[in-house]
Structure 1
Amino acid sequence: MPLALLTSHALAAHIFKNLSLILLGNLFLPISTVIFLLCLLKECIRPSPGPLVLPPEKRKTVMINSLSMTKGLSLARSFYLAGHRVIGVDVVRGGAISFGRFSRALDAYYLVDSPVSEADGGQQRYEDALLNIIEREKVDLWICVSDTTSTVEEAVAAERIRWETGCAVFQPLPETCRTLHHKNLFIQHTDKIGLDTPETVCVTSHSEALQFIKAKEPGGKKYTLKSITLGDASCPNTMLFPLPTEEESRAYLSELPISTTNPWLFEEHITGREFCTHAVVSNGQLRAFVGCPSSESLMHYEGLEVYSKHALKLQELTQRYVKSFENGCLTGQVSLDVFMSEDKDGELRIFPTRCNPRTHTAVVLFEGVPEQLCGAYLSLLEPPSEELNGVSGAKCFVPKLTEAEKYYWFGHDLVTLFLLPLMEGERVVDGLREFFTHLVWWRDATFRTWDPVPFWWFYHVYWPTLFWQLLVSGTRWRRVNVSTTRVSEM
């Protein structure tokens, strides 16, 4: 079966993709179930080390949302192991039941309406539901694990919660979220604070986009094309404009939903290494930080050496952004995407391309050090550290390579490193080698022997249910992100 079939709009491709992935889940169901039962038996005979036992005055109640994403589940597990009480919250997502709701880490779990639901009053209902949960469960801290579609809405909810309750919230102000979330505003802000930025041009019509391409010299700069409002609709980073011929560019652009309400951004293609970060920021102070190599579809995570020049530059860059917002008192989670290249003198040139004001999946790199990670978040409940001569007294925890394992997702690797190479007849040996390297030496981001239900549910209930819904509804998709459970529609 040619790989082109998988990216086709054709009905045959639509049926093949969804049914084959449902069957794949059923194929592995027996062995997954055996492993699941063995884990339960092992926990009965020789339990894994339990959570830390804290005195009542130090044990906090923490609310974490988006348990349907690995990063939400990872944070919930870390707070559980650090001895705290965890309340899980998810928004209603059709008939697919979140795998995170079955984690042992949760003391309670709630479903609420999405703040961006099509029904009127979605934002109000969302805020009211969160306030009821916070009051009922006596929540001390809400760690907001935003989805890409609801970052600003959750920042608005956070503002109300700060005003009406004694619950602290890890989320920047709405205006900060808007600036960081929308790519064009982020680039403008980056330029304003004196950092290098790739050339960017916003287009609001097909004719404007084609005119931009036609004005470019052959053999000159190349550009990627990204939607400002629909991140999943962006073209792959491997798609560089102008295309070889004007006709190809015209045909491709005609398929994109470019309009005044959905502007797109041409961005200069930067050559160099790509990195991403996750930072925990409390009152303008970095409390935890990690950087790792990145790519367009990042599904393998390994941290950078703490004192490497790349890690130090990324940490310095993050601090610079943090100090440029909210009078230097930003509280939230900041995740940068950065390209780095070296000039002829060996100096690093840094080009920030995106900043997400929300939890990054790279937070999984902290799972081996739950006490330190949770301490970084809980610092918000303490008085801010004073600065002496402009230097903060707060400590920033960065996991060492010996503390941060390498993470992968079994389902993603099974398809992309094993099955697709077999279908294409290319990179079969390399794909198998990488697949088994991850299987043996790396750690699956979802599976834990002491908490096996989420993994089992994820691959044998959640995804089959979702693929069946996509099949029946006729919704065409080109890619799914296993870590965030996001489906990129065609």
Structure 2
Amino acid sequence: MSERVLVTGARAPAALDIARSLKTAGFEVHMADCVPARIARWSKAPAAVHRHASPVQQPARFASDIRALIDRLDPIAILPTCEEVFYLAALAEAQGWSDRLVAPQFDRLATLHHKGRFAALCGDLGLPVPTTTVVTDSTSLIGDAAGTDVVVKPAWSRFGAQTLIRPDATALAMLRPTPETPWVIQSRITGEEVSVYAVAHEGRLSAFSAYWSDWRTRGGAAYVFEPLTGPVLDRLRDTASTLAAFVRTGQFACDAIIDAAGQPWLIECNPRATSGVHLFGRSAAFGHALLGRGVAEPGPNIWRNSIMFDTFGVAEALCKKRLPAWHEDRRRSHDILSAPGDPAPGLGALADAAGFGLLALTSHRSLAQAMTADIEWNGQPLTPALWGTP
């Protein structure tokens, strides 16, 4: 009988490719989320896709649902892929099953997620990071940032949401930082933006990839992922190895800026799965590496999110007269949604996008906010009392 693995955050394309890799490696893969996650439900990769309550909206019910899933499936490992990782880590520590969770301890997750604390950690580890200041009141924010060459963003945020570059006093006056909702001011580094994804087990890397993209949304989210090459790749791998010693076990990803001298500067960290998983080509080696059973290396292929490339990408190509580049990149890249023998997830992703779009309209949120509002964590206490009887 195959060993079972539970992958959470089934809404994410990264989660689906993780499931595909695990299946190729011989595991029985189950997935779970608090939304329909048709991208996974319509795929042939998971044996089943399970539904649980939102950890944000119904934490006690979430805890009950997860406990029931663990009791029923008895997975050898639980692999979070999105921000539910924070809730799972806190819940696992409270209930005593952290040994099954492939994720850092909760306090380490919080340090990695908080942009100010992550910068301080990098400083302690000797890793290059822009000068970063945490502010908790409007007066300090305006005094330190107005008219300077800085980037201002919430300490707890994702997908470049609310990021301001070289903001003026008027823009800063609209912000309301508090001790509970701090912001950070970072000196602005100019250069090429790249991303790193890694898996650590017992403080050592078991998987590492790095990529860049010149196809991005206005908020900065990439939807074409091209493997990074050249001397900087070794420097980024060394950086990831240093961070792996802190992470201990779990997935983590970093955004960095490569300056004109070839120096990578770490900007922020996402302690979860990101698009770097696609570079491993759904290999069995990556499936094993996720569980600490070997080391995986990424392949040379370029990958794209076909839905975003065929919508946002077309719009950008028309506006910026990049249609020849669009056609060429579409020809030479592989789709992260569909796979040979598994074409339906692309349609599932379209259905999911429509659902999130409707939610965004009815809740007066942006699409990015609607896609994560039910799982995101912004520094609020996660105490054992949350996991009481629903």
> Shorter-chain-normalised TM-score: which range?
0.7 to 0.9
Stretches of structure 2 that go unaligned for 5 or more consecutive residues are 374-390
Deviation at 1:228, TM superposition (A): 0.9
Judged with a 3 Å threshold, the aligned counterparts in structure 2 of structure 1 residues 153 and 480 are, in CA distance, closer, same or farther, namely closer
Task: Pick the structure with greater CA Rg.
Answer: 1
TM-score normalised by structure 1 residue count: 0.69
Match status 1:360 vs 2:292: no
Match status 1:108 vs 2:48: yes
Deviation at 1:76, TM superposition (A): 0.9
Query: Which residue of 2 is the match for residue 146 of structure 1?
Result: 82
Match status 1:371 vs 2:261: no
Query: Which residue of 2 is the match for residue 266 of structure 1?
Result: 185
* CA distance in 2 between partners of 1:342 and 1:411 (Å): 33
> Per the alignment, in what secondary structure is the counterpart of residue 301 of structure 1?
strand
Query: Which residue of 2 is the match for residue 44 of structure 1?
Result: none
* CA distance in 2 between partners of 1:336 and 1:434 (Å): 27
> Per the alignment, in what secondary structure is the counterpart of residue 184 of structure 2?
strand
Judge conservation of contact 1:417–1:434 (CA < 8 Å) in 2.
Answer: no
* CA distance in 2 between partners of 1:213 and 1:374 (Å): 45
Query: 1:283-294, aligned counterparts within 5 Å?
Result: 283-293=202-212
Deviation at 1:140, TM superposition (A): 1.1
Query: Which residue of 1 is the match for residue 320 of structure 2?
Result: 427
> Per the alignment, in what secondary structure is the counterpart of residue 199 of structure 2?
strand
Stretches of structure 1 that go unaligned for 5 or more consecutive residues are 1-55, 244-248, 381-394
Query: 1:38-437, aligned counterparts within 5 Å?
Result: 56=1, 59-91=2-34, 93=35, 97-117=37-57, 119=58, 122=59, 124-147=60-83, 150-160=84-94, 163-164=96-97, 168-214=100-146, 222-231=149-158, 234-236=161-163, 239-241=164-166, 243=167, 249-293=168-212, 296-305=220-229, 308-324=230-246, 330-343=248-261, 348-368=262-282, 370-379=283-292, 396-401=295-300, 405-419=301-315, 422=318, 426-428=319-321, 430=322, 432-437=323-328
Deviation at 1:234, TM superposition (A): 3.7
Deviation at 1:233, TM superposition (A): 6.9
Judge conservation of contact 1:146–1:154 (CA < 8 Å) in 2.
Answer: no
Deviation at 1:183, TM superposition (A): 0.7
* CA distance in 2 between partners of 1:469 and 1:181 (Å): 26
Q: Give the partner amino acid of 2:334.
A: R
* CA distance in 2 between partners of 1:60 and 1:476 (Å): 40
Q: Percent identity over the alignment?
A: 21
* CA distance in 2 between partners of 1:61 and 1:298 (Å): 32
Deviation at 1:289, TM superposition (A): 1.1
* CA distance in 2 between partners of 1:476 and 1:174 (Å): 28
Judged with a 3 Å threshold, the aligned counterparts in structure 2 of structure 1 residues 376 and 357 are, in CA distance, closer, same or farther, namely same
* CA distance in 1 between partners of 2:109 and 2:31 (Å): 23
Q: Give the partner amino acid of 2:150.
A: Y
Query: Which residue of 2 is the match for residue 7 of structure 1?
Result: none
* CA deviation profile, 1:351-386 (whole Å, cap 9, x unmatched): 212122211221011124x21101212336xxxxxx
Judge conservation of contact 1:224–1:235 (CA < 8 Å) in 2.
Answer: no
Deviation at 1:84, TM superposition (A): 1.5
Judge conservation of contact 1:341–1:350 (CA < 8 Å) in 2.
Answer: yes
* CA distance in 1 between partners of 2:302 and 2:372 (Å): 22
Deviation at 1:256, TM superposition (A): 3.1
* CA deviation profile, 1:303-340 (whole Å, cap 9, x unmatched): 224xx321111111111122245xxxx11112122222
Deviation at 1:213, TM superposition (A): 3.3
TM-score normalised by structure 2 residue count: 0.85
Judge conservation of contact 2:159–2:368 (CA < 8 Å) in 1.
Answer: no
Q: Give the partner amino acid of 1:416.
A: F
> Per the alignment, in what secondary structure is the counterpart of residue 357 of structure 2?
helix
> Per the alignment, in what secondary structure is the counterpart of residue 180 of structure 1?
helix
Judge conservation of contact 1:193–1:324 (CA < 8 Å) in 2.
Answer: no
Deviation at 1:474, TM superposition (A): 5.4
* CA distance in 1 between partners of 2:144 and 2:303 (Å): 41
* CA distance in 1 between partners of 2:195 and 2:61 (Å): 34
> Per the alignment, in what secondary structure is the counterpart of residue 263 of structure 2?
strand
Q: Give the partner amino acid of 1:158.
A: A
Q: Give the partner amino acid of 1:222.
A: D
Query: Which residue of 2 is the match for residue 48 of structure 1?
Result: none
Deviation at 1:191, TM superposition (A): 1.1
> Per the alignment, in what secondary structure is the counterpart of residue 231 of structure 1?
coil
> Per the alignment, in what secondary structure is the counterpart of residue 264 of structure 2?
strand
* CA distance in 2 between partners of 1:195 and 1:469 (Å): 40
Q: Give the partner amino acid of 2:71.
A: E
Q: What RMSD, in angstroms, separates the aligned Cα atoms of the two structures?
A: 2.6
Judge conservation of contact 1:180–1:356 (CA < 8 Å) in 2.
Answer: yes
Q: Give the partner amino acid of 1:231.
A: R
Query: Which residue of 2 is the match for residue 8 of structure 1?
Result: none
* CA distance in 1 between partners of 2:151 and 2:3 (Å): 45
Q: 2:358 aligns with which of 447, 468, 475?
A: 468
Judge conservation of contact 1:334–1:355 (CA < 8 Å) in 2.
Answer: yes
* CA distance in 2 between partners of 1:108 and 1:80 (Å): 12
Deviation at 1:476, TM superposition (A): 4.4
Judged with a 3 Å threshold, the aligned counterparts in structure 2 of structure 1 residues 299 and 257 are, in CA distance, closer, same or farther, namely farther
* CA distance in 2 between partners of 1:136 and 1:444 (Å): 34
> Per the alignment, in what secondary structure is the counterpart of residue 103 of structure 1?
coil
